[in-house]
A and B are shown apart, each in its own frame.
Chain A
Amino acid sequence: MTQAPHEPAIRAVGVRYRFPGSERLTLSVTRFEVASGEHTAIVGPSGCGKTTLLRLIVGVLLPSEGTLTTLGAEPAALTPSSRGRERLRSIGMVFQDFALLDYLSSLDNILLTAKLGGFDGATAKRRANALADRAGIAHTLRRRPDRLSHGERQRVAVCRALVTSPKLIVCDEPTGNLDPARSSEIIDLVLSEARDIDATVVAVTHDHGVLGSFDRTVDLGAIARLEGPGR
């Protein structure tokens, strides 16, 4: 995805999404933009479509209506396999449940996207070690996830998102159930690494204590208009 200078990293115009076979709108966003290099936090009441928006941004879901451009390209215009390739190449993701593979060591988990994306092994490994060092999990690299603490697993997940030096980092509740002090450590880690590589960050969070670290906070509840029962 090649992005023209000054063009926003993400632009959604009149994007609506409803699950296949369902009439009910899950998300409806008239306009949403994130500037390149900008660190944006997305808040909003549960059920307002935060996660759906993230999945639309990375191209796992495609909008039912409207146009959505990520890093200068429209996922809907790409084939599923090139969408996958683009994700591996340009986007780092931190999942709500970390989604680590329990049979791989921390290091292998971190390197997973690099390997899947065909990045140079030696470079990726150097970067993984450096990241782990900065994240304070260098000593856990040979351990499997079941032998890591909650916080360590979270850091492994963050390192995995960063290992390919992506242009866009998407985080879904990256601080999970952490206490406020640890939450800000994680957010600081993500944001400082993102600054180093000049990456755009979009993070969904309900942890209002960390919002100050972001450039901007968007309340999705305010900009999204949803229809249907209960809303």
Chain B
Amino acid sequence: MIAYAFRHASRRWARSLLLCACVFVIAALPLVSRSVVSSFERSLRARAATAPLLVGAAGSRFDLVLSALHWRVADIAPTELSVVEEIRAEPGVVAIPVHARFRARGEPIAAVPFEYFEYRRLVPREGRLVAGLGEAVLGATTARRLGLGPGDDLPSDQDRSYDITGPSSVVLRVVGVLAETGTPDDAAVFVDLETAWLLEGIAHGHEAASQVTDPDKLIGRSDERVALSGAVVEHQRVDADNAASFHLHGSRDELPITAIIVIPGSDKASAIVRTRMNADPARQAISPAAVSEELIGSVLRVRRLVDAISVVVGVAMLGLLTLVALLTLRARSDEIRTLREVGASRTQVASLFLFEFLGLAAIGIVAALAAAWAAAGAADRLLLLFT
């Protein structure tokens, strides 16, 4: 009977496809939305649980959480590096500055201090961790997506293509690939904070100003100052020859970061840091857990909408399914009569139809599951896009 059912299904392939599609749509909408949302929820909660407190510039708290914990590149107002020391002054408090403003070939560049690797227990699967300026370690997913490994070059994306005075792209040198973690850290390009400042144009390497003689590079020279042309000064890449020429501009205290992950160690320390940080109107100290719940709430609202839509679509699809089934029954009434007349039992005839329907439904459901599975994998990406 199964063979007959299969023959019939393949003979009427268009109708079979329509049935599969109906079942797929009925199953896929709720499955995909659920798997995406639950994967997102899990990711948000798990990540928030690791960071009791987040400090950053006053502004969107969602941006702050998504940027510092999920590596969503956002235009966040910078916080000064000195704030880190201010927070660390409180005994027992761990403060880890992060900087996420740039991308390399579309992947977020996560600029972090060495402590970040310790805190997240990130270890290299291949190569080593960052040990110098201009070096990058790739998250597992990013390495796969970009097809890069130790020894490869990865140019940063230029964020101001039309501004010739802006910092130019820097070629990062991939020195390692991190072991997979199942967290947003898999999808980032890790560099040192100093490298982020290099990308910002605050740290750079160039020929010593006093040694510039090329008239194309020299705009003017007086006893006190030398004006250099912006177009020609900066090295595109840090290597052994020019590493020594890289330097930071301005005070180290004023260097920009986008957020500080704070692990207070005690409720008292947490309260002190929060109070102190929130006292400055230019700053905010937030609890990622609370903000994540807010985010989850809004995502759940979206899911409820999707659910409502899936019910409507599902009912329509069920209607279509029923229509197709009834038309099929009508079209096959002669066949049913023949089968009954030659002596086929009611069960035999019914199973012929049932097997076919179940087979097609199974294909639709498997396809829906595959879609849900794929969507769960891309959930972080998808929702970072939507939120």
Contact = CB atoms under 8 A, between A and B. Distances in A.
B343 A117 contact: yes
B338 A95 contact: yes
Nearest to B332: A101
A101 B335 contact: yes
A99 B338 contact: yes
Q: Dominant SS at the B interface? A: helix
B343 A84 contact: yes
B267 interface: no
Interface stretch (B6-14, B33-41, B93-101): B6-14
Nearest to B8: A103
Contacts, number: 51
- The interface size bin for chain A is 20 to 34
Interface stretch (A18-26, A86-94, A124-132, A217-225): A86-94
A125 B211 CA distance: 97
Contacts of B334: 99
B348 interface: yes
Contacts of A87: 341-343
Interface in B328-350: 334-335, 338-346, 348
Interface string A50-89: 0000000010100000000000000000000101111111
A93 B341 contact: yes
A86 B341 CA distance: 11
A4 interface: no
Contact of A108 (B7, B343, B344, B348): B7
Interface string A151-189: 000000000000000000000000000000000000000
A227 interface: no
Nearest to A102: B11
Nearest to A90: B343
Interface string B23-39: 00000000000000000
B4 interface: yes
Contacts of A93: 341-342
A113 interface: yes
A55 B338 CA distance: 12
Given A99-B334, A116-B348, A104 B341 contact: no
Given A104-B7, A108-B7, A84 B345 contact: yes
Given A81-B345, A99-B334, A104 B340 contact: no
A141 interface: no
B157 to A, nearest CB: 57
Could you say which of A86, A87, A103, A144 has the most chain B C-beta atoms within 10 Å of its C-beta? A103
26 contacts: A60-B340, A60-B341, A83-B343, A84-B344, A87-B341, A87-B342, A88-B343, A89-B343, A93-B341, A93-B342, A95-B338, A99-B338, A99-B341, A101-B4, A101-B335, A101-B338, A103-B7, A103-B11, A103-B12, A104-B7, A108-B4, A113-B343, A116-B339, A116-B344, A116-B348, A117-B343
Q: Which 6 A-B pairs have the closest CB atoms?
A: A87-B343, A88-B343, A103-B11, A99-B338, A84-B343, A103-B8
